[in-house]
Structure 1
Amino acid sequence: MTYELWYWSGIPGRGEFVRLALEEAGVRYRDIALEHGG
């Protein structure tokens, strides 16, 4: 199973804490940063 980490890229560090937790746990994930407007 692969998780998807969705967040708005306009806010620096927004997904960092979740990303660090996933990395530490060895969980597979896909990083998806949304750009303004879509």
Structure 2
Amino acid sequence: MPSQEDAVAWSTGCCGLVIVWFVLGRLAGSVAGMFNDR
């Protein structure tokens, strides 16, 4: 079993990656929408 610190760091890293990808997707959608409106 991993230590408490390892488990916290691992779960935080995974959640952080999901949040980063979600934000990037939202930004890409906003930029695409701006270009489509022209």
Q: Which has the larger radius of gyration?
A: 2
Structure with higher strand content: 1
TM-score, normalised to structure 1, is 0.34
TM-score, normalised to structure 2, is 0.34
Structure number with greater CO (CA < 8 Å, separation at least 6) is 1
